[in-house]
Structure 1
Amino acid sequence: MDTSAYVKAVVEQTGTFADWVHGKDASAPVPTCPKWTLADLVDHVGATQRVVAMLVGERMTEPSRAFAGYVPGPTDSSQWHAWLTEGAAEAKRAFESVDDDTPVWDPSGAAAGVPFWSRRLFGEVSVHRADAAAALGTRYELAPEPAVAAIEDWLATMTSRGYWENRPDFADAMRGAGQTLHFHATDAPGEWLARREPDMVVLERTHAEADVAVRGPAAELLLVLSRRRPLAATPGLELHGDQALLDHWIEHMDWVSD
């Protein structure tokens, strides 16, 4: 997917998310984010999109002003639909105002800028829509190709140099001596090999033998890797190899734990 495709999908998925949460109980717990209520989830999704819209639209190479401008969402859930869809539209306008090579700060450590943020917002709403589904008892669906793109975002961001350097707890947990994990989507092209090295996690897009392998439909693989569904509750996935290694990996894929 390119930047425009990611942004189009962000707008579409945010619209679905907004339809689901509109008028619902703001205090409802979110089982997949145990410290959050539905209001916290809505706030996170909409405010994050606005922060990124500011970063991209104003071509910021230093992020402090954008993060300082974080505006919480409405407390009245009857206002959520409009607030969420307006935030997605704001992000869309920001991306349309720049080129992929426009200098914009991002936390990856790779100076990926505009393409990073379009993919990141797509991954955000893909996973947080699963959170909303869990909170509301709604069926979560994501087509295979977008699910592969969301897995790519999750794995690429979590294994980025920037994440490693800014999360010493994660780095300490992920240091290894070459242990390998293979993830394989079976309903759309998508395979990843993660190798735990002493100073980083190396991510390759390839098929290879590994210490542990998980394969199955992309949407189910996304939910397990993003800690939204336990492996034991996902019979569509096949596991081969060292489950303890996979459990350790998933335990530390704790992107937003607070």
Structure 2
Amino acid sequence: MDTSTYLNAVVEQTSTLADWVNGGDAATPAPTCPKWTLADLVDHVGATQRMVAMLVGERMTEPSSAFAGYVPAPTDSAQWGAWLTGTAAEAKQAFESVADDTPVWDPSGAAAGVPFWSRRLFGEVCVHRADAAAALGVRYELAPEHAVGAIEDWLDTMTSRGYWENRPDFADAMRGGGQTLHFHATDAPGEWLARREPDMVVLERAHTKADVAVRGPAAELLLVLSRRRPLDAAPTLEIHGDRALLDHWIAHMDWVTDA
């Protein structure tokens, strides 16, 4: 998927999310994001889209101004729908104003800039729409090719040099001696091999034998890897090999504390 495809999907999925949450009870718990309410979830999605729009649109190579530009969601939930569709539109417009090689700060450590953020916004809305579905009791559906894109975002971000360096707790938990995990989507092209090394997690796009392998529908795989669905509640996934290694991996796939 390229930048424009990612942003079109961001707009589409945010529109669905906006329809779900508009006029909702702000205090509704979001069970897949401990300590978050529906209001917190809406605020996070929209504010993140707006801050990334500022980073990209203003071609920032240092992030403090964008973070300082945080704007909270409306307190009136009847305004949430329009607010969310507006932040997604702002993001799309910002990305349309730049090229993929426009210098923009990103936390990955790879200077991926514009392509990093287009995929990150896409992955964000895919996962947080699942959070909203859990909070509201709505059926969550995601096209297999979109789920593969969101898995790619999740795994690539989690194994980035920047994440390793900025999350010492994650780094300590994930240091290894070459242990391997293989993730395989069965309904769309997508395979990843993660190898735990002493100083990083190496991510490859490969089909090979591993210490533990998990395969199944991409959307189910995304929900499990992003800790939105317990492994034991995902009967369509097949697991072969060292289950404890997989459990350890999932236990530490937390993007931020309490989210």
Which bin holds the TM-score, normalised by the shorter protein?
A: over 0.9
| 2:25 aligned with 1:25 | yes
* Mapped partners of 1:256, 1:76: distance in 2: 27
Task: Report 1:1-258 matches (<5 A).
Answer: 1-258=1-258
Find the residue that maps to 2:120 and give its secondary structure: helix
Instruction: For structure 2, list consecutive stretches of 5 or more residues without a partner in the other structure.
Output: none
Query: Aligned pair count?
Result: 258
> 2: CA distance between counterparts of 1:39 and 1:91?
21
TM-score normalised per structure 2: 0.99
Paired residue type of 2:239: L
* Deviation per residue, 1:227-256 (Å, 9 max, x gap): 000010010000111111011000000003
Q: 5+ residue gaps in structure 1?
A: none
- Give the secondary structure class of the aligned counterpart of 1:187: coil
- Per-residue deviation, 1:257: 2.6
Q: Find the residue that maps to 1:140 and give its secondary structure.
A: coil
Q: Distance in 2 between matches of 1:34 and 1:120?
A: 21
**Which secondary structure state, in structure 2, belongs to the residue aligned with residue 236 of structure 1?**
coil
Q: What is the TM-score with the length of structure 1 in the denominator?
A: 0.99
Structure 1 segments of 4+ aligned residues over 4 angstroms from their partners:
none
What do the CA deviations read for 1:184-209 (whole angstroms, capped 9, x no partner)?
00000000000000000000000010
Q: CA deviation at 1:75?
A: 1.3
Indicate if the aligned counterparts of 1:33 and 1:257 stay in contact, CA closer than 8 A.
Answer: no
The secondary structure found in structure 2 opposite 1:176 is coil
Distance 2:231 2:168 in 1: 26
